[in-house]
A and B are shown apart, each in its own frame.
Chain A
Amino acid sequence: MKKFINDPADVVAQALDGFAAAHPELRVDTAQRYIARADAPRPGKVGLVSGGGSGHEPLHAGFVGAGMLDAACPGEIFTSPVPDQILAATRAVDGGAGVVHIVKNYTGDVLNFQLAAELAADEGITVETVLVDDDVAVQDSTWTAGRRGTGATLLVEKIAGARAEEGGGLAEVAAAAREVNAASGSFAYALTAATTPAAGRPGFELPGDEIEAGVGIHGEPGRHRERLRPARELVRTALDAILAAKPFDGPVILLVNGLGGTPLIELYLICGEAARYLAERGVPIARRLVGNYVTSLDMAGMSLTLCRATDEMIRLWDAPVRTPGLRWGA
């Protein structure tokens, strides 16, 4: 393992210190471990809190700011935050209008956010929980803990964040978030496994000519292993899986997401292939985003996300956003 760290045990704490140094415009509570907008809580504004394991940067701390999240709680690497942390963040952003928790569907995230929401309710804070479960690689949810939350998390946070920014009420913001999740599907490929600092070795062994199809974002193995094929074929297989899972009969928002270890040149190539194939399939692309947004440490790989976007979603997607990881129009 070759990483720029001091001690595997302190990586998250020291990264949080560094995040604070890099972003003086945000409020970083290193003791309670959350990042909040400097102007939170804003009276009457619905608060948006997300969080999850560290190692997915810029998700979620990088999406705190005007037009997106009010606070984020980073857990240990690939481990969800604890209820204390989530409760502290929830308190910090509650402006009296309630708080939406955006939770990726992983058992740890779900349980810890559930406990935090119960604690918040005891304090009189109304919490709406929105579960993100867009990963179509998980086929039969009756045999699993449900589908995983992956790339669509960014779309949910952006669009719900815009709705909250313009004054939407708790129910409206939660509904906007749920609508984006329901309209989204994702599929990922890994070329290499991720190496967590604590483990010091890759999460799984992958021979040079093989790839993992249908991976999540925690360095866990995927749906199956297969031979590396040309990018064109992989993109088509991934998009076929997404298009088969949900109706995509109108304009989509396309996210071409890198998992951390894949250079942009490959992501742009993939975007080109995706655009070509979607055109063939008669699916118009209304908006697109290419880059490393929902990552898995140093994993080489990519995920594709499609969201069947309504006019309202596109309007909210275009709304100004000013965060470390996503910024336009502001």
Chain B
Amino acid sequence: MDVALAREWMRATAAAVAAGADRLTRLDAAIGDGDHGVNLNRGFTAVVAALDQEAPPTVGEVLAKAGSTLMSRVGGASGPLYGSALRAAGRALPQTSAVRPDELVAALRAGLDAVRKLGGAAPGDKTMIDAYAPALDAFEQAVAAGAGLAQAAAAAARAATAGAEATVPMRARKGRASYLGERSVGHQDPGATSASLMFQALSDVSQVGPSGADSAGVKHC
């Protein structure tokens, strides 16, 4: 992944969040207070503006900048959680203009660790982790098996979507949905859904790449 692709990833995530804002908000209204789409959309709009303004020189700085922008603009739980995930991921990367898939795996792992540490949630608690963790595992396995970014990101996106759908029968133990107890069962978690949008965006931009290279041509992740 190079700097241009990292920026495309954030831009595509912003577009996906904007397009899915209503759906996220509806999912959140069922078991939370119905502002997840609005908040995340506000944050990623600010991310795009910040990246347009500054153009960080490394992949790590793109992600870290996106993270700190989310943290200072979103509020709620999603601001600190998404913000620290991207910031930790960005800081874990070598300060180079392009990074290898295995380096991205380690960075995304650092991001997940940051979310788990801050939010105290575990898999099965009906949170964004239920999409993020399986997506990362799928990404890591694909990379270990020799896949390029495009293939690994596609596997991650599929796992994230499946992970988000798997939150439907779960009972929430973290966040506002946890106050509903059994009543949270039967609804897809909005945080897991937005996390799946982020992995889908990574997959989408990786298939084409910013310079139009096809997936087979993307050797330098």
A-side interface residues toward B, CB under 8 Å? 53, 75-84, 106-108, 111-112, 114-115, 137-140, 143-145, 148, 196, 198-199, 203-204, 216, 218-224
Q: Which residues, 37 to 58 on B, are CB-close (under 8 Å) to A? A: 38-39, 42
Instruction: Tell me the complex Cα distance, A81–B172, Å.
Output: 24
Q: Tell whether, in the assembled complex, residue B35 and residue A138 are in contact, meaning their CB atoms are under 8 Å apart.
A: no
User: Digit string of B62-105 for contact with A (CB within 8 Å is 1, else 0)?
Assistant: 00000000011111111111000000000000000000000000
Given contacts A75-B75, A108-B75, A198-B35, contact A204 B29 (CB under 8 A): yes
Query: How many angstroms from the CA of A111 to the CA of B155 in the assembled complex?
Result: 31
B158 contacts A by Cβ under 8 Å: no
Contact present for B180 and A220 (CB under 8 Å): yes
Question: Inter-chain contact count A-B, CB under 8 Å?
Answer: 115
| A75-B75, A198-B38, A223-B181 known; A112+B175 contact, CB < 8 A | no
Hey, which chain A residues are within 8 Å of B220, CB to CB?
A: none
The verdict on A77 contacting B35 (CB below 8 Å), with A112-B80, A115-B80, A144-B173 known, is yes
Does B178 count as interface, using CB distance less than 8 angstroms?
yes
By a CB distance below 8 angstroms, the chain A residues around B174 are 107, 145
Structural contact, B72 and A82, CB atoms closer than 8 A: yes
| Nearest CB of A to B52, in Å | 20
Check if A108 sits within 8 Å of B77, measured CB to CB: yes
* Extra 6 A-B pairs, beta carbons < 8 Å, given A203-B29, A220-B180: A79-B35, A79-B39, A108-B79, A111-B79, A143-B178, A219-B33
Question: Can you list 21 A-B pairs, Cβ within 8 angstroms, ordered by A?
Answer: A80-B76, A82-B79, A108-B75, A108-B76, A111-B81, A112-B76, A112-B80, A115-B80, A138-B179, A144-B179, A145-B175, A196-B34, A199-B29, A204-B29, A218-B176, A219-B34, A220-B31, A220-B32, A220-B179, A221-B180, A222-B179
Mask: chain B, 108-138; 1 = CB below 8 Å from A; 0 = not: 0000000000110000000000000000000
Kindly list chain A residues whose C-beta atoms are within 8 Å of the C-beta of B80. Answer: 83, 108, 111-112, 115
